[in-house]
Structure 1
Amino acid sequence: MNAIPEPTLARIDALLADIDADLAAHYPGDRPEAQPAHTVYVSAADASADTPAIWGTAALELLDRHASVLLELGDPAVLELVRRRLSTAPIADLRLDFEDGYGRRGDTVEDDDAVRAGHTLRALGLGSCGIRFKGLTLADRPRAVRTLELVLDGGLPEGFVFTVPKLRAAEQITATVWLCEALEHAHGLPARALRFELQIESPQAVLGADGTATLARALHMAEGRCTGLHYGTYDYSAACGITPQNQSLEHPVADHAKAVMLAAAAQTGVWVADGSTQVNPVGTDTQVEQAIRRHHRLVTRSLERGFYQGWDMHPGHLVTRWLATFTFFRTALVAAAPRLQAYLDRRGGAVVDEPATAEALAAVVLRGLDCGAFGVDEVLAQAPGADLATLRALKARTHS
């Protein structure tokens, strides 16, 4: 017999029913689609439907020219995977930039570039693409809205998303939602067709005047339209007073900001992307090799810390992006596969994993499959019980 009075149980049920519904709405879990390994930013003035092929060709040239140093960072099998990726689909996600990478060019010029950007994105058919506009600050708002409208005039590109820079107040997101609704109505788009990312490049986005995490509030004010939080390396570091020579993806202020981003986005279905490096693989052979090692180290570091997407700003970055990504997930498979199989067999062993850990093991294997680091046959060879259906079922475990 239950010693707790029924009215008390009823009160508890009534209270927690609303809480449970609220948690389910705000934290639905991961999205079903695959997160891209990177986002490439190209000035909207320079981009064309040939950009992926041009970048892939340039990346392959760097791979061939500096094969010896790349072989120190990855084995021949992984380099062959990188070569194949650069030859077929070098860019996973593309943003045509109308902000810092574009500058101010006059309204007529930007109008023309915006129309051309729409044509380019629709012709690419990448499945994951968009623009970064100038944002919704007082000075830039009219220009930003006009650019976005002109990009959409010819129809919505497949997988389109726009990046909102300079987030400083959560209320800016309510304005962005209103803008999306107005554009959908004006352009005859389906309801909720427009989605956006928030670029976190201001300390006020991480810590508001009221002591709360502005970006967390903003994310939940987006009404399900926010797809990503992207870290802005140099604006954020500069705003925190970090000197230029010390601004980096691995500076402590960057780690703090990104840790808040990761916690705010956890289990919401919103992806978190690391920022960029300003060091490109150009110059002398020594300078290029130093840049290769640096970018490979930074990408690997990000992956180890749970940031599975980052920015690439130069064709040479594609080589080290895919090399570090494939190596990371292939190494993860070697560690995850026996633990997954032991969990499925309930054998236990030296490491006894809980359901939450099995979920994480399945998630990392699925990420590796999604990015092309290995195939299903390679997974089954190491964990015979870990077929796709089983992996997806483990990853979809209901959060408590």
Structure 2
Amino acid sequence: MSIEDLTSRLDTQLADADARHARDYPGDRGVRQPLHTVYIPADAYAAHTVREWGDRALALLDERGPDAGTFARAAGLPEDIVGQVYPRVRAKLEREPIEDVRIDFEDGFGSRPDDEEDAEALRAAGALAQSIEAGSAAPFHGIRFKSFEAPTRRRGLRTLDLFVGELAKRSALGDGFVLTLPKVTAVEQVEAMVTACEWLEETHGLPAGRLGFEIQVETPQSILGPDGTALVARMIHAGAGRVTSLHYGTYDYSASCGIAAAYQSMEHPAADHAKAVMQVAAAGTGVHLSDGSTNILPVGDEAAVRRGWALHACLVRRSLERGYYQGWDLHPAQLPTRFAATFGFYRDGFDSAAARLRAYTGGGDSEYLDEPATAVALANFVLRGVECGAVDETELTDQVGIDRAALARLARHRTA
């Protein structure tokens, strides 16, 4: 048998495995990932909410961190890094204070009479549409409705239908729209969400496949099934290509594991275990990962603000170092440290990553002999920094020697 004959035989033998791998692990989706999601109770959301959050964050920064040095000391961040990013933080709060907003009809809204939730669903959808029409909406936005557990299933579906229908009627369903499926306990709930998306598309005249959704990992059942398997991996593939991300829910998950309230945290070993399973399950699928939130807010007197900022900045940096490039924010006071810690992370690593990329693409020498997979990781790192505003495109061309489009092709095999 010749090598050609053997190759042909193996092509046939491995055809099903090749097709399965291509289907289940398509790689990066080639889309920007927001660096945070802000959860706002539905009845507190208005067309001006994004701008209002930015203004409130800037006011707190003016009061408690009016210059780079004061802010660095208050937030427990390195003064040299904050010196680099402080103007960028202020500019971000003025230009794009929220990257992703989730209008919350679940825990943030609670259980209310049907007529009240119906009215709020239509009002909030109208407010979102108004902000989209005005160009003031967060670039990513959507709704978290009530879960598909039996007691809340009908209510969640009704709110979802009203909200999506109102946006569709006003032609306000853009690429940044996403749905959030909370408290998932079974693979079948993900399959049911696919059915619901198909129905919504048909009912409201949307293109097939238009609606995607996030899975919130808030229950131990979504990590470990009764048969000992990692159900979150099966959930991703049960989503028929509609699952966009996995979001870790710090407090629901911790409470479900029996962790005392005082010790519920993104840093708890139970949280790290859940997120590590999520990370492996999502690898190669194109599904993004998001860490959770801290409910210790930087509000009150100066000492309370300093404690809240220092904790938040530390947690943001910790998540980024572990490969969780997104998190939840719950209050405007968390925005300064979200952006400062994130920008600092990318600024801190940019020079080294840029030099290694320049050498890899043939533009210089490096002490590293990087393999293609590492080059992709380096490119992704730099591209994320560019996309969120931590790195300027001029710095990219000056230090790496390529433009954003070439960087995107290397990072995600796409054109920026």
Same fold (TM over 0.5): yes
Within the candidate set 139, 158, 162, 1:146 is matched to 158
Q: Is 1:165 the equivalent of 2:177?
A: no
| One-letter code aligned to 1:198 | I
Q: Deviations over 1:92-139 (max 9, x none)?
A: 100010111111121111111100111122222233111111111110
Distance in structure 2 (CA, Å) of the matches to 1:75 and 1:9:
57
Match of 1:246 in 2: 263
Q: Percent identity?
A: 50
Aligned-partner SS, 2:395: helix
Contact 2:355 2:366 in 1 (8 A): no
Correspondence 1:373 to 2:390: yes
2:128 maps to what in 1?
A: 121
**What's the offset of the Cα at 1:381?**
2.2
Contact 1:215/1:264 (<8 A) preserved = yes
Shift of 1:203: 0.7
- CA shift in 2, pair 1:397/1:179, >3 Å: closer
Q: Measure the CA separation in 2 of the matches of 1:95 and 1:304.
A: 25
- Structure 1 spans left out of the alignment, 5+ residues: none
**For the residues of structure 2 that align with 1:5 and 1:36, how far apart are their CA atoms?**
47
The corresponding residue for 1:79 is 86
Residues 1:195 and 2:212 aligned together: yes
User: Which of 102, 122, 128 is 2:109 aligned to?
Assistant: 102
Q: Distance in 2 between matches of 1:46 and 1:155?
A: 18
Aligned position for 1:286: 303
| TM-score, with length taken from structure 1 | 0.95
- Secondary structure class of the residue paired with 1:95: strand
Q: Per-residue deviation at 1:64?
A: 1.3
Using structure 2 for the length normalisation, give the TM-score: 0.91
2:247 is equivalent to residue 225 of structure 1: no
**Cα distance in structure 1, aligned partners of 2:364 and 2:140:** 41
Q: Distance in 2 between matches of 1:396 and 1:231?
A: 24
- Give the stretch that moved more between structures: 359-368 or 336-345: 336-345
* Matched position secondary structure for 2:361: helix
Shift of residue 9 of structure 1?
4.4
Q: What's the RMSD between the two structures over aligned residues?
A: 1.7
Q: Distance in 2 between matches of 1:97 and 1:65?
A: 30
Aligned to 2:27, which of 11, 26, 29? Answer: 29
Deviation digits for residues 54-108 of structure 1 (CA, Å, limit 9, x no counterpart): 1001100111112154233242331111101101110010001011111112111
* Superposition deviation, residue 395 in structure 1: 1.7
Contact 1:166/1:200, CA 8 A, preserved across alignment: yes
**Which 4+ runs in 1 deviate beyond 4 A?**
none
Alignment of 1:48-59 (within 5 A): 48-59=46-57
- Alignment-derived partner of residue 395 in structure 1: 411
The residue that corresponds to 1:135 in the other structure is 147
* Residues 174-231 of structure 1: CA deviation (Å, up to 9, x unaligned): 1111111111111111111111110001111001111111111011011111111000
Q: Which region of structure 1 is more displaced relative to structure 2, 61-70 or 289-298?
A: 61-70
1:202-351 paired onto structure 2 within 5 Å: 202-345=219-362, 349-351=366-368
Q: Alignment length, in residue pairs? A: 395
Letter of the 2:403 partner, please give it.
Answer: D
Give the structure 2 partner of residue 183 of structure 1.
200
- Corresponding residue of 1:41: 39
Q: Identify the match of residue 111 of structure 1 among 103, 109, 118.
A: 118
* Gap change, CA 1:239 and 1:343, over 3 Å in 2: same
- Aligned letter for 1:376? E
The SS at the match of 1:84 is helix
Letter in 2 for 1:45: D
For structure 2, the residue ranges without an aligned partner over 5 or more in a row are 133-137
Alpha-carbon distance change, 153 to 265 in structure 1, aligned in 2, over 3 angstroms: same
Distance, in Å, in 1 between the alignment partners of 2:302 and 2:63 is: 9
Q: 1:88 aligns with which of 82, 95, 113?
A: 95
Paired with 2:84 and 2:130, the residues of 1 have a C-alpha distance of: 33
Would you say the 8 A contact 1:333–1:379 is kept in 2? Answer: no
Query: In structure 2, what residue type is equivalent to 1:201?
Result: E
Deviates more, 1:339-348 or 1:158-167: 339-348
Q: What corresponds to 1:66 in structure 2?
A: 64
